[in-house]
Chains A and B, each alone.
Chain A
Amino acid sequence: MGSSIERLSLGRLERYSRGLRGFWRSYSRNRPAVMGLAILFLLTATAVLTDLLDPYNPFGIYPSEVLLPPSFSHPFGTDDLGRDILKLVMFGSKTSLLVGFSAVFIASSIGIIVGALSGYYGGRVEDILMRLTDMLLIIPNFFLILLIVALFGSSLRNVVLVIGFMTWPGTARLLRSTFLSLREQEFVQAARVVGASHLRIIFRHLLPNGIYPVIVNSSLQVGSAILTEAGLSFLGLGDPSLVSWGRMLSIAQMYVRRAWWMAAFPGAAIFITVMAFNLIGDGLNDALNPRLRER
């Protein structure tokens, strides 16, 4: 008896923290996923702190230190302008994370809206939205992004917007299919009977239940947005006013015979970052997917 009264009086915050604890318990069982999260923390800390701790000019020229191999004072060596590669890689983390997170934020928002509307309302709305989604899904994404950035200029803002606006269809499809199965379930019908509005049903009942696959997918998408940005920069379509790992690799190409370290370290940074997001995605999938959890 006492326990049921206790349960009723649980505050929302406490219920929330219990949920989080349960989530963490199943997430932390996946060791690679924990490693991915650790890498992400490290990267974020680097991106935030680089500016504050180290007054280094990433656009300076240091003629006496050109193309030095890795050493004690320059652990990652120096580049063709004598800049310290370790510091450049640290600066680059900011660009990558910024592009990754903001592009995916845009893409997920559009994807959630389109997916929710077409999954919930069905009919005409669904037909039109899904046709657009399918078309965008089939058009080779990278080439379209590349073309738009080439035509409209490769500022950071453009790159983020274009990646964001071109990569939402996957999310939309995913959420739509979850909504299609959820909307027939009893708790939704119950909500409808009680007289809940469409918006309330979508946001309070369907979305909290159907958002997990989207979260998993978004985590993977951050990785691929970072790869896309790196690829664009590598092809000469990066923001020239920023340090970017892809651009560093692009320049490193010219020195591949003389300075392996110029290619090795920025590329490793991309690799590790993308892998971190993939591992986190896998971990989230295991922890959030109720069907897998029961096993």
Chain B
Amino acid sequence: MSMRRYILRRIPQLIPLCIFAIVINFTLMHLAPGSPIDYLVGGGEVVPKEYIEKLTREFGLDKPLHEQLLIYILNVFSGNLGTSYRYRTPVLQVILERVPNTLLLMTTSIMFAFVLGIFLGVSSSKRPYSLVDNLASTISVLGYSIPTFWLGMLLIIVFSVYLRWLPTMGMSTIGAQLEGWEAVIDTLRHLILPATTLGTTYLALYTRLTRASMLEELRKDYITTAWGKGLDDRAVYYRHAFRNAMLPVTTVLGLNLGLMLTGATLTETVFSWPGIGRLVYDSIITRDYPVLMGIFIIVSITVVLANFIVDILYAILDPRVRYK
């Protein structure tokens, strides 16, 4: 099967998943205390009557339920997620404004976790049960159990409060008018602690996975052949085993996006990092339900797409998958 046909065949499977997330949202909106209007504009405030009428028309709230659902789905697909109660702007806009900041935080953490995790994993697979291996296992057990937000607070206490090396919160120094490189360095300084915090869980995960996957590959016949040919360490570990061992690691990278966004929510809350995660916290505190529901939909669709991309990537990396 050609790659294109494989992709085309998988696309229709995406749509029910996206709709599923929207249906969940719709159901919650109707089951939760209060009227659906509250979840489109946010409750607790006097909203002009004309605006409520406009929304009722827009979302067909005077129509039977199944029609409402259809209208809601169409609205979501055209980007209409309601209005933020707090910012008084469309929910989609509020969310999209925060996306770059979250992306910056997430890509930095993933890179940190991926590179270091692979290095630790490969090193420990070379000599199982050695000192390096035990150290790597300890790191991964600890990293896997540590609550993200607590780690963030500990880092703040040590590096910001006591050592005063790095800033506590935000993305840039407030009040400082920085330009060019100075601004970049300022942002990087703000990025170090949150990225380390968010990356630690994944560091643990990638270390563990790379090690297991490498050990599995190293047992195979072609590795024996490679050693037999007289190849050196580098060639055997990196050019032969590593490439094949990376397959499951790459998959997990995409499959864990949902978890990663959870981590980002908690991390951004601790560090007041102005991304989607912090927006979740702010929306909970201010009861800005339209934003909260919008985030759920956007995050769900993103995760569904990420899974799709991972599938495709997997098929590219491992042609055997396509023929199943």
Contact = CB atoms under 8 A, between A and B. Distances in A.
Interface of A: 32, 135, 138-144, 146-148, 150-152, 223, 227, 230-231, 234-237, 249, 252-253, 256-257, 260, 263-264, 267-268, 270-271, 274-275, 278-279
Nearest to A149: B284
Interface string B238-269: 00000000000000000000110110011001
A235 B292 contact: no
Interface in B289-308: 289, 292-293, 295-296, 299-300, 303-304, 307
Given A152-B33, A223-B145, A138 B17 contact: yes
Nearest to A153: B33
A139 B141 contact: no
15 contacts: A139-B21, A140-B259, A143-B300, A146-B284, A147-B28, A147-B296, A234-B149, A235-B265, A236-B281, A249-B147, A252-B153, A256-B156, A271-B147, A274-B146, A279-B141
A260 B157 contact: yes
Shortest beta-carbon contacts, A-B, top 5: A267-B150, A140-B258, A275-B145, A151-B32, A142-B262
B147 A138 contact: no
B20 interface: yes
Interface in B104-157: 141-142, 144-147, 149-150, 153-154, 156-157
Contact of A264 (B154, B284, B300): B154
A223 B142 CA distance: 13
B284 A231 contact: no
Given A151-B32, A271-B146, A274-B145, 6 more contacts: A142-B261, A142-B265, A143-B262, A147-B296, A236-B284, A260-B157
A271 B20 CA distance: 34
A249 to B, nearest CB: 6
> B interface, how many residues as a size bin?
35 or more
A214 to B, nearest CB: 20
Interface of B: 16-17, 20-21, 24-25, 28, 31-33, 39, 141-142, 144-147, 149-150, 153-154, 156-157, 161, 168, 258-259, 261-262, 265-266, 269-270, 280-281, 284-285, 289, 292-293, 295-296, 299-300, 303-304, 307
A236 B265 CA distance: 13
A151 B145 contact: no
Nearest to A278: B145
Contacts of B17: 135, 138
Nearest to B266: A231
B32 A235 contact: no
A171 B67 CA distance: 36
Contacts of A32: 141
Best-surrounded residue of A140, A142, A237 (most CB of chain B within 10 A): A140
